[in-house]
Amino acid sequence: MTVQTNYYELLGVSRDADGPTIKSAYRRLAKEYHPDRHGGCKDQEAKFKAVNEAYDCLKDPQKRAAYDRFGHDAYQQGAAGGNPFGGGQGAQDFSDIFSSIFGDFMNEAAARGGGRGQAAAGRGSDLRYDLELSLEEAFAGIEKTITIEALAPCEPCEGNGAKGESKPETCAQCGGAGRVRAQQGFFLVERTCQRCLGTGLSIADPCPQCEGDGRALKKRKVSVDIPAGVDEGTRIRVAGEGEAGVRGGPPGDLYLFVHQKRHPIFMRDGTTLVAECPVSFTTAALGGEIEVPGVDGEKIEVRIPPGTQSGETIRKRGAGMSILRQKGRGDMVARILVETPTKLSKEQKDLLQQFRETETGEECPNAKGFFSRIKDML
């Protein structure tokens, strides 16, 4: 009985490693053991296949969960060609029928997708960029130039992964299809070719700069138009600005995730802007006007009705945020906070004392009603 190496140990990662860590370890080992770098050495090829098998399992959450629970036993039945319905000649016959029905169709699909049977080069990964905007930028919209570091076509080999004048050749294992089929019980399973990693091409003399990957890390600037009205969590897709594809494959996309900077005056709730506005108790009692600087730079006049209570709100229609990809604006809400004076002159204290001596209780009906209920309780 062959003892199989633990997949985590094989990749050199811990059992709680996340996806990016596992992917990074796999890529490093795949480059190290790739048969093209070792002149077709059988031992290196076996290590290369084992690394691919481990990554194929651990990159898939469902397969990984099954492996964590059952180990290699989770796949022994399929790998050994076991048949859950009893095995025997019937399973083989079913496989032959399956192959005859779908085999030609799969070949034709590969030819259409990859061009003369050769697999299309792998698409590049999508990228995420967290973009922080001020409230004013989100209101008006803006063109932002950002700097990203991502895999780009390798300049020395022009992205094909081959050194100098040499060129990639059709992979001998998959015939350029990038996929291979294998029998598992009575099913015919199609998988990515482990020798060429699905590219359909084999490189005998890899580029020393990118080690045959055809890509290298590079910083570049990207200009992005941010529409007016974007909010916290808005996602903006920039097509074709992600990582470069493998050996000339199409690039991925860039996704911008908008984050809102804290504003000194306004709190944002969708298209509504809320401003907490402290006013003196005399303004609240007698009424008056205050000015609030709008997000568009224009001053907003807010009229305070006489007798305004602390916490009351006054709404100004059309003075809020822009509406994303629509005309019009939301509202601005002024939340009134009545401030009790803490520094009074002697004259002011005397005037307030005179006012208190004239109070009848009718001036503040809420306070009068509250203390009346307390009196009844006692």
Residue 292: predicted pLDDT: 94
Residue 186: predicted pLDDT: 63
Same domain, 251 and 290: no
The domain containing residue 193 runs over which residues? 114-262
The answer to whether residue 89 sits within a structural domain is: no
Same domain, 295 and 257: no
Alpha carbons 139 and 155: distance in angstroms, whole number: 41
Same domain, 175 and 234: yes
pLDDT at residue 110 above 50? no
The answer to whether residue 92 sits within a structural domain is: no
CATH number for the domain that contains residue 312: 2.60.260.20
The answer to whether residue 227 sits within a structural domain is: yes
Same domain, 44 and 162: no
Same domain, 155 and 209: yes
pLDDT at residue 58 above 80? yes
Query: Do residues 213 and 246 lie in contact, with contact meaning Cβ atoms separated by under 8 Å?
Result: yes
The answer to whether residue 134 sits within a structural domain is: yes
- Residues annotated in the binding site for Zn(2+), as ranges? 154, 157, 171, 174, 193, 196, 207, 210
Same domain, 49 and 5: yes
- Average pLDDT value for the chain: 82
Of these ranges, 44-48, 210-214, 241-245, the one predicted with the greatest mean pLDDT is: 241-245
pLDDT at residue 115 above 90? no
Token digits of residue 251: 């690039």
Residue 307: predicted pLDDT: 93
Q: What percent of the chain has pLDDT over 70?
A: 81
pLDDT at residue 24 above 50? yes
Same domain, 170 and 35: no
Residues 6+ apart with CB under 8 A from 141: 225, 226, 227, 228, 229, 230, 322
Same domain, 300 and 191: no
pLDDT digit string, tens, across residues 307-318:
999 999 999 999
Same domain, 1 and 25: yes
**Domain end call among 213, 244, 262:** 262
Closest to 316 in 3D by CA, of 335, 303, 295, 331: 331
Closest to 161 in 3D by CA, of 56, 31, 52: 31
The answer to whether residue 106 sits within a structural domain is: no
Residue 111: predicted pLDDT: 42
CATH number for the domain that contains residue 6: 1.10.287.110
Burial class (CB in 10 A: 0-12, 13-18, 19+), 207: buried
Q: How many residues does the chain have?
A: 378
Question: pLDDT category, 63, cuts 50, 70, 90?
Answer: confident
The answer to whether residue 70 sits within a structural domain is: yes
**Domain end call among 262, 292, 322:** 262
pTM of the model: 0.59
pLDDT at residue 242 above 60? yes
Question: pLDDT category, 366, cuts 50, 70, 90?
Answer: confident
The answer to whether residue 374 sits within a structural domain is: no
The answer to whether residue 139 sits within a structural domain is: yes
Question: pLDDT category, 336, cuts 50, 70, 90?
Answer: very high
Q: What percent of the chain has pLDDT over 90?
A: 42
Question: pLDDT category, 171, cuts 50, 70, 90?
Answer: confident
Chain centroid offset of residue 83 CA: 41
Same domain, 256 and 311: no
With residue 284 as reference, give the H or E element that holds it.
helix 281-286
Residue 233: predicted pLDDT: 92
**Domain end call among 217, 240, 262:** 262
- Residues annotated in the binding site, as ranges? 154, 157, 171, 174, 193, 196, 207, 210
Residues 6+ apart with CB under 8 A from 300: 291, 292, 293, 294, 316, 319, 332
Same domain, 18 and 139: no
pLDDT at residue 57 above 60? yes
How many structural domains compose the chain? 3
Please give the residue that has the higher pLDDT: either 280 or 74: 280
Specify the residue for token string 């399992």: 57
With residue 94 as reference, give the H or E element that holds it.
helix 89-114
pLDDT digit string, tens, across residues 267-284:
999 999 999 999 999 999
Query: Across-strand partners of 333?
Result: 274, 315
Alpha carbons 7 and 58: distance in angstroms, whole number: 8
Same domain, 162 and 291: no
